[in-house]
Structure 1
Amino acid sequence: GYRPARYYLLAWSVFMIGIFLFVFSEMGIIPTNNLTAYIMPFGSALEVVLLSFALADKINILKKEKEDEQAEKLQILNQNEQLIREQNNMLEQKVRIRTDELEHALRTLQNTQSQLVNQEKMASLGQLTAGIAHEINNPINFVSSNITPLKRDIKDIMEIVEFYRSSGQREFTENTKKEAKQLEEDLELDYVLEEVEQLLKGMDDGAKRTVEIVKGLRIFSRVDEQDVKKVDLHDGINSTIILLNSTIPSKIRIVREFGELPLVECLAGKINQVFMNILNNAVHALSDNLDNISDPKITVRTKPFADHVIVEIEDNGPGMPEKVKQRIFEPFFTTKAVGKGTGLGLSIVYSIIENHKGTLEVVTEEGQGTTFIISLPIYQNVPKNE
């Protein structure tokens, strides 16, 4: 079945036949003629031709085998290349997935670290404000409790002074009356009486204002509480506004549109921190653009629903472009100048609302102001939230 072997056998067979015919003719077994005379060289020539065919066929077979081998090697190389490419793609995908996981873990770690640092700061702030509120409360109670009897005593003194003045008009001599009149003018008695009344009113107003600040400090100092309690969100909002009052420019109006809210289960200090960060951002947004806004104001709106409450904090400031809105809750992202913001405020706000099983939505458009919509469940321990 091997073709070069057939050529080989056929060539030698022709050659041997030529020899036998030549030998037989020489021996006289067969007659001598031109065929027998030239049969041996003819057979040799034919043998050479057939052997050449056999060699050429062998060369072709070897060539084809080499081509097939090269094609097979090329195919194997292509397969190996495809396999390497697939493995590279697989490795790149695994590296990409791992990189994403590491980036997510890093962001989570940074967020957790910032929250822990902030929590520690807020806990220290809570202890500090609680201590300050307690220390201020005692002397201010002393002042507040003394203002009323002081007013009463001064009123009694004024009655005596008025009695002396009226009696003197009747009983003093003309010279004494002139001396008394001159003394009243020198001492500016009418102005002094009016000033005393204004001072007492100022002391009363200042004491009430201080009481409000102390109350706000005591409410806000609950940042270190770790137990869920039922609280009045309006108290938290009011106390936050009181604490921010010194940083709010006089041109900015604070508008309260409060609904009838039920008590809400939450960590009071954490929710107060939410109000503080959002209101503080709104104040900064308006403060930087007071010359461009005719009536800068912040509106705090509350609405009750069946199983949750809504708190909206709206400002009519410059708003935010879409690319900023998409990133405001990222840790360490800030649009403020270096040294004026850490980029953690809204990230912490988002985490606090998320931990309370609530939602936080931002509605803003460049040039149209910004509204933060906070949704909080009334109860934390209900079946759908467990």
Structure 2
Amino acid sequence: MKDAGVLPFNSFTNNSILIGSALEAALLSFALADKINIYKKEKEESQAEALLISKENEKLIREQNIILEQRVEERTHALQESNESLQNTLTHLKETQAQLVEAEKMASLGQLTAGVAHEINNPINFVTSNVAPLKRDVDMVWNAMDEIENIALSDLSLSEKKQRINAYKEELDLEYLKVEVDFLLKGMHEGAYRTAEIVKSLRIFSRVDEDSLKFADINEGLESTLVILNSVVKEGVAVDKKYGELPLVECYPGKLNQVFLNIITNALYAINKKFDGNSGGILEIKTEADTENIYISIRDNGIGMPTEVKEKIFEPFFTTKEVGEGTGLGMSIAYNTIKKHQGEIKIESSVGEGVKFLIVLPRKQQTQ
């Protein structure tokens, strides 16, 4: 407008751009300052809101922590009660297990008591039945000595004395008396020896070694078990013993003898089921060793077992026997005992052909 002549030339019109720029800068400054104040106010409000939210969150966290601590305390108390209950249950189960194992052992020994009594009674009868005739023969010997002494001290001539002594010896049948005394003494010796062997086997079989490992002769344990079971081995069952040269094995001998008893008893049961007292039954017991393990094989040619029985044979209370013939604990105890010895027990079976149990035991127990 100045350049067009509408407005006069003066200091204002000549400096209008500068004045406008100054005004614009001033207005912009005021606008910026106002905007800054707005942002500052919004920031303060936001910070106040964030602080409020933070305080609310802190309050909520404290409340949640209190609730959580209460729940943790309640849960801990419940877990402690549950743990105590589990400990009591575990203790009860261990006691029950020990009682069941002892009951199974007593049941096995109870079944064998009559047989063992019969086994001991037979050799004892050798002794008792021979005592009376031996006493009679000894009395006859003493009487003969007295009679011969009387003849020797008599006033008879030597030829008469010899004649009377020979006549008395013929009357007494002294030669037969010697044979009879030898026979009676032999029978008493065999009876006493057999009784001693049975007692020795009973002592070996019923070792008390529940808490201590010992080095034992496995062949001796098997033999003692067979002696205990001798009355159960019926006629017609051939026992084939193939004992190898075994080192002494670190084990719980009494527990292993219980394993042998359970397995051999089952084998004899299977044989009797198949042959029913007739000939043809075979029980084979074989032992051997290598540098690390010993191997005990117990095989029978009885009725065998199907797959479904083989899969359950080591389960507690599982039995194929009739009610009253078995507790169903024998094989479970055998399995756990072998596992306790860090060994293993394997089964090979064919229905109608028999069963083979293979027990593998380390020669020395590793520290667990």
Residue in structure 1 matched with residue 160 of structure 2 by the alignment? 171
Give distance in 2, aligned partners of 1:127 and 1:339: 15
Equivalent pair of 1:316/1:368 in contact (CA under 8 Å): yes
Separation of aligned partners in 2, 1:126 and 1:284 = 13
Q: What amino acid does structure 2 have at the position aligned with 1:281?
A: N
Q: Which ranges in structure 1 are unaligned for 5 or more consecutive residues? A: 1-107
TM superposition score normalised by structure 1: 0.55
CA distance in 1: counterparts of 2:312 and 2:105, whole angstroms: 28
Aligned residue for 2:99?
117
How far has the Cα of 1:370 moved from its partner? 0.8
Corresponding position of 1:378: 363
Provide the rounded CA distance (Å) in 2 between the counterparts of 1:111 and 1:334: 21
Counterparts of 1:338-357 in structure 2, within 5 Å, are: 338-357=323-342
Q: Over residues 195-254 of structure 1, what are the superposed CA-to-partner deviations in whole Å (9 max), with x where a residue is unaligned?
A: 322221111011111111111111112144311111111111111111111221132222
Q: Is 2:252 aligned against 1:267?
A: yes
Q: Which amino acid aligns with 2:160?
A: E
Are residues 1:218 and 2:188 paired? no
Which AA in structure 2 matches 1:351? N
1:194 and 2:176 matched? no
The TM-score normalised by the length of structure 2 is 0.58
Please state whether the residue corresponding to 2:221 is helix, strand or coil: helix
One-letter amino acid of the structure 2 residue matched with residue 120 of structure 1 = E
1:293-339, Cα deviation, whole Å (9 max, x unpaired) = 64212111111022111100111112112221111111111111111
| Match in the other structure for 2:270 | 285
Please state how far the C-alpha of 1:360 moved relative to its aligned partner: 0.6
1:238 counterpart residue number: 223
CA gap of 1:178–1:235, structure 2 versus 1, over 3 A, is: closer
Q: For 1:125 and 1:273, locate their aligned partners in 2 and report how far apart those are by CA, in whole Å.
A: 12
Separation (CA, whole Å) in 2 of partners of 1:370 and 1:241: 18
- Show structure 2 runs of 5+ residues with no match: 1-89
Change (3 A) 1:321 1:223: farther
249-258 vs 309-318, which moves further: 249-258
Measured after TM superposition, the shift of residue 117 of structure 1 is 1.5
Q: CA offset at residue 284 of structure 1?
A: 1.5
Q: Secondary structure at the match of 1:372?
A: strand
Match of 2:194 among 197, 209, 212: 209
1:361 Cα deviation from its structure 2 partner? 0.6
Evaluate the alpha carbon distance shift between residue 318 and residue 343 of structure 1 in structure 2; reply closer, same or farther with a 3 A threshold: same
Name 1:251's counterpart in structure 2.
236
Quote the offset at 1:371 in angstroms.
0.6
Q: Is 2:350 aligned against 1:361?
A: no
1:231 aligned partner, one-letter code: A
CA-atom RMSD in angstroms: 4.3
Question: Which range is displaced more, 116-125 or 307-316?
Answer: 116-125
Deviation track 1:50-91 (CA, whole Å, cap 9, x = no partner) reads xxxxxxxxxxxxxxxxxxxxxxxxxxxxxxxxxxxxxxxxxx
Number of the residue aligned with 1:329:
314
Report the equivalent of 2:286.
301
Q: CA deviation at 1:266?
A: 0.8
Deviation at 1:121, TM superposition (A): 4.3
Letter in 2 for 1:171: E
The whole-number CA distance in structure 2 between the counterparts of 1:374 and 1:111 is 27
Closer, same or farther: CA 343–213 of 1 in aligned 2, 3 Å = same
Q: Which residue matches 1:27?
A: none
Distance 2:203 2:104 in 1: 14
Counting aligned pairs with the same residue, the percent is: 41
- 1:369 alignment partner AA: G
* Counterpart contact for 2:235–2:277, Cα < 8 Å: no
After the TM superposition, which of the residue ranges 218-227 and 327-336 deviates more from structure 2? 218-227
Distance 1:179 1:233, change over 3 A: closer
Letter in 2 for 1:240: T
Amino acid at match of 1:117: Q
SS of 1:245 mapped into structure 2: coil
Contact 2:104-2:329 within 8 A present in 1 as well: no
Q: Counterpart amino acid of 1:248?
A: V
Could you say which structure has the higher helix fraction?
Answer: 1
- Kindly tell me: are residues 336 and 223 of structure 1, through their superposed partners in 2, closer, same or farther at Cα, counting changes over 3 Å? farther
Give distance in 2, aligned partners of 1:344 and 1:377: 24
Are residues 1:320 and 2:302 paired? Answer: no
Higher mean Cα deviation, 232-241 or 193-202?
193-202
Q: Which amino acid aligns with 2:198?
A: I
Structure 2 counterpart of 1:311:
296
Q: Write out aligned runs for 1:41-56 (5 A).
A: none
